Chain A
Amino acid sequence: MSTLDLSPGVREYLLALADDEHIIGARHTSWIGSGPFLEEDLAFCSIAQDELGHAIALYELLTDDIDALGLLRDPAEYRCCELVELPCREWDEALVRHVLYDHAEGLRWQALADSSIPEIVGVAKRARREEEFHVAHADGVLRRVLFAGGDAHDRVVAATVRLLPVAATMWTSVDGETEALATGVATSSSADLAERWWTEVKVLYEASGVVLDRPAAASGAGRTQRSGHFADLHAEIRLVIDLDPNARW
């Protein structure tokens, strides 16, 4: 795929999704070999691979050197949200983030499915198909854990209450969104998507008897500032390339 001639605003808009996909993929892969049971371990890491694949597909639209863009940028130049930067080292949190993120991701790709740029439509089409399975998987595991009751239920509900305010960071509008909407690159605003996302999440939990309070819109610097969790992860994903930044594979 060749790099597209995109305006700075549209690049920024696409970069936000690309970085979210990259960082959530990297975070999910930390579960390789330590998932709750073998099948779930494999499925979760295969989903992580899909997310990394989506990131690569978007980076390829933005640059000819995806290593430099994906791995070697200064932390301040990343545009991921705080939700994907969290370590989520307990399975309850990892599962809840998977649910909250993938519902949002499906909607974000949908907003690109009728893009005015055909290359973006192509990438969005592939990603949306995979997202259907990711959401089915996330919902399936969540429902069963909530249905199981007891400690599993309580831990997942508690993790949801903790993560919902952080999940709101996904919907912080990025610089460039106005431009992306005006030029038809994207067809729904973050505010519209956030509404639809909340309805999906609310209905999903209510079907399992859990009533959630809607999180307030995220405040703060949004996607231009990294959380305290980013530095360690960034060092980790650069581990190999820093050995020899000029190596070609």
Chain B
Amino acid sequence: MHTYEVFLKKDGKEGFRHAGALDAPDWEMALLLARECYCRRGEGDEMWLVDRADLVVAPIELLEPNGDRPHRTSDGSVVAERRKQQRQVGGGK
């Protein structure tokens, strides 16, 4: 058995979205089973199946953010705090 990741796309601008996964002996059966398991109610107008064995999976470490690079993760909290203080003293206008 192979495990296939199922991606569906609705007509229009939306991109493909991951819908789930399924087990099947090969891609032909995977297509038939995916139709019955994931597309019974018009959930997608297009479908991709990807054999999980063909996925390039990134090592976890590759994605770990560096804790010492705060300038890359500005969430606006510093500016928000300053504006709040300015409002409180009436100087924010």
- The chain A residues found within 8 Å of chain B, CB to CB, are 37-40, 42-43, 46-47, 133, 136-137, 140-141, 144
In the bound complex, residues from chain A placing their C-beta under 8 Å from that of B25 are: 144
Distance (whole angstroms) from the CB of B72 to the closest CB of chain A? 42
Chain B window 22-58, contacts with chain A (Cβ cutoff 8 Å), 1 for yes, 0 for no: 1111101100110111001000000000000000000
Which of B23, B24, B36 makes the CB contact (< 8 A) with A47?
Answer: B36
Residue of A nearest to B29 (CB): A140
In the complex, the answer to whether B32 meets A136 with C-beta atoms within 8 Å is yes
Residue of A nearest to B36 (CB): A43
Residue of B nearest to A37 (CB): B23
Interface of A is mostly: helix
Residue of B nearest to A47 (CB): B36
Count B-side interface residues using an 8 Å CB cutoff. Answer: 14
Distance (whole angstroms) from the CB of A197 to the closest CB of chain B? 22
In the complex, the answer to whether B33 meets A40 with C-beta atoms within 8 Å is yes
Sampled A-B contacts (16; CB under 8 Å): A37-B1, A38-B22, A38-B23, A39-B24, A39-B37, A42-B37, A43-B32, A43-B37, A46-B36, A46-B40, A133-B32, A137-B36, A140-B32, A141-B29, A144-B26, A144-B29
Which 9 pairs across A and B sit closest by C-beta, in order of nearness? A43-B36, A46-B36, A39-B33, A42-B37, A39-B22, A137-B32, A43-B33, A140-B29, A144-B25
- The chain B residues found within 8 Å of chain A, CB to CB, are 1, 22-26, 28-29, 32-33, 35-37, 40
Distance (whole angstroms) from the CB of A13 to the closest CB of chain B? 30
Chain B CB within 10 A, most for which of A38, A39, A42, A43: A39
A194 to B11, CA, bound (A): 42
Distance (whole angstroms) from the CB of A147 to the closest CB of chain B? 9
In the bound complex, residues from chain B placing their C-beta under 8 Å from that of A38 are: 22-23
In the bound complex, residues from chain B placing their C-beta under 8 Å from that of A133 are: 32, 35-36
In the complex, the answer to whether B36 meets A140 with C-beta atoms within 8 Å is no
In the bound complex, residues from chain A placing their C-beta under 8 Å from that of B32 are: 43, 133, 136-137, 140
Distance (whole angstroms) from the CB of A153 to the closest CB of chain B? 15
Residue of A nearest to B33 (CB): A39
A137 to B28, CA, bound (A): 10
Taking A39-B22, A43-B36 as known contacts, 13 extra A-B pairs with beta carbons closer than 8 A to each other, sorted by chain A number, are A37-B1, A37-B23, A38-B23, A39-B24, A40-B33, A42-B33, A42-B36, A42-B37, A43-B33, A46-B37, A133-B32, A133-B36, A140-B28
A141 to B30, CA, bound (A): 11
Distance (whole angstroms) from the CB of A237 to the closest CB of chain B? 23
In the bound complex, residues from chain A placing their C-beta under 8 Å from that of B22 are: 38-39
In the bound complex, residues from chain B placing their C-beta under 8 Å from that of A137 are: 32, 36
In the bound complex, residues from chain B placing their C-beta under 8 Å from that of A39 are: 22-24, 33, 37
